Amino acid sequence: MNTTASSTATTTGSSTATTTAVDNAPSRTIELALTAQQQETVARSTIAGEASDLAELAARAIRETTTGEFSRLPMPATTRRKSAWRDDLTTSPGIERELLEEFVLEPSTGRAIEMAAGEVLRLEQIEGSQCLDFNCFSLADYREAFHTGRTRTLHGINPTTGDFLWSAPPRERAMMFILADSVGCNDVLFPRCSANMYESVYGFTRHTNCADIQAEAQREYGLTPDDVHDSFNLFMSTEVVDGMPRIRRQDTAPGDHVELLAVMDVLAVPNICGSDVQPTSNYSLKPVLVQRFRASEADLAAVPDLWEYDSQRAPADFTQPRIRTERALHRDPSYVPAFLTDAVVTSVETVELDPETAALFERMWDDGLSARYGARGAGLRDVLFSWWAATHGH
Ligand SMILES: [Zn+2]
């Protein structure tokens, strides 16, 4: 064992660069400030046999970072378990799609559609080039809703076939699966267009807009305009140019479609985007065909396995589970903070590197780490956890 836990310098909050006595000379001895949860990470790696101790783990990170030869290492056991979402569904062999509902969504309108898990919503271009905004709520709890941010992080700004629509933290569950997408032209970068957007940008005091159309469609289920959330924008072609989101004309034809399969019971709310003064729908407003099906066996089989975790929290797990009805905010005088402060207590570990590894690390230090960090300990922590994330993350 080359590692010794030494002087426990406890600070809560930030774990910034460590000042050590050995910073001015190439040295095999480096002091590393680690939070309790970083210490736990190291302990998990040693228990898994990735290294015998912190010094060996650091040496492995330095060597593999130098060579670029990262091995994928298994995630440690977590609370993960396979979701049983499709177990209750009719999955008899050979079962075909069954049309349950069909209608044409006209310009300036939207519709709130109840969907059971295992149903498919097909949105199909009639004339072509029409954008649809789409909201999605858990039918069992409207506070669980589609989240563009989580979806964008996992699937990029243009989700397509094979991607999921996810709910916001702390729920973070898959809500719908993109079963088919004939064009690959969807967006999670732009928020819904709104009345004020048209007035403030273009001077219209009255203009069709997705926020108001969504609000009116959702009113059938008692939701308020505040409950409209940022949308999944179907058939909306977007890009980022010089850090700014841009809308492009779209190139969709009659028959082009997106199919969304519900993996929980949802209220699905598509609407015809109200923009006829932007390239979103090529400067016109057109109807779209909407169909709801009971999924076929093949549809259900196309959805990859989903996993459930204890960290996907429901109201029963919340410290404050009650939905407020009073609009003004007032401080709770009995409030006591309950943050995870013990997880960020920092202690300093002394790491001894063998001469060969120390020389590799010195090269890293000279090649860039020293420009970013004031102390070798902070640099070594960067190397260690960059390696850890690259080898253990999904
Ligand atoms: Zn719109």
Q: What is the pLDDT of residues 283-321, one digit of tens each?
A: 999 999 999 999 999 999 999 999 999 999 999 999 999
Q: Average pLDDT, stretch 54-65?
A: 96
Inter-residue contact 352 to 1 (CB < 8 Å): no
Cα–Cα dist 32/169, whole Å? 32
217 CA to centre of ligand 1 in angstroms: 14
Q: What is the pLDDT of residue 162?
A: 98
Pairing of strands 98-105, 237-241: unpaired
69 CA to centre of ligand 1 in angstroms: 47
Give the pLDDT band (50/70/90) at residue 181: very high
Q: What is the pLDDT of residue 93?
A: 75
133 CA to centre of ligand 1 in angstroms: 6
pLDDT per residue as tens digits for the range 347-392: 999 999 999 999 999 999 999 999 999 999 999 999 999 999 999 8
What pTM does this model have? 0.89
Dihedral sign of CA atoms 228, 232, 237, 243 in order: positive
Q: What is the pLDDT of residue 75?
A: 76
198 CA to centre of ligand 1 in angstroms: 10
Q: What is the pLDDT of residue 21?
A: 44
281 CA to centre of ligand 1 in angstroms: 9
pLDDT per residue as tens digits for the range 101-154: 999 999 999 999 999 999 999 999 999 999 999 999 999 999 999 999 999 999
Q: What is the pLDDT of residue 2?
A: 38
How many CB atoms are located within 10 Å of the residue 151 CB? 23
Q: Average pLDDT, stretch 250-261?
A: 97
In whole numbers, what is the pLDDT of the chain averaged over residues?
92
Cis amide bond preceding 337, omega within 30: no
210 CA to centre of ligand 1 in angstroms: 4
Inter-residue contact 272 to 106 (CB < 8 Å): yes
Whether residue 281 has pLDDT greater than 80:
yes
275 CA to centre of ligand 1 in angstroms: 5
Q: What is the pLDDT of residue 13?
A: 39
What is the spatial order of strands in the sheet that 29-35 belongs to?
Answer: 4-5, 346-352, 29-35
110 CA to centre of ligand 1 in angstroms: 11
Whether residue 269 has pLDDT greater than 90:
yes
Q: What is the pLDDT of residue 27?
A: 60
Residues ≥6 apart with Cβ < 8 Å to 172:
150, 166, 311, 312
Whether residue 14 has pLDDT greater than 50:
no
157 CA to centre of ligand 1 in angstroms: 17
Compute the residue count for the chain: 394
199 CA to centre of ligand 1 in angstroms: 14
Cα–Cα dist 277/281, whole Å? 9
269 CA to centre of ligand 1 in angstroms: 13
Cα–Cα dist 231/7, whole Å? 51
119 CA to centre of ligand 1 in angstroms: 26
Q: Average pLDDT, stretch 324-350?
A: 95
The two structure tokens encoding residue 21: 């006595």
172 CA to centre of ligand 1 in angstroms: 25
Give the pLDDT band (50/70/90) at residue 394: low
Whether residue 24 has pLDDT greater than 90:
no
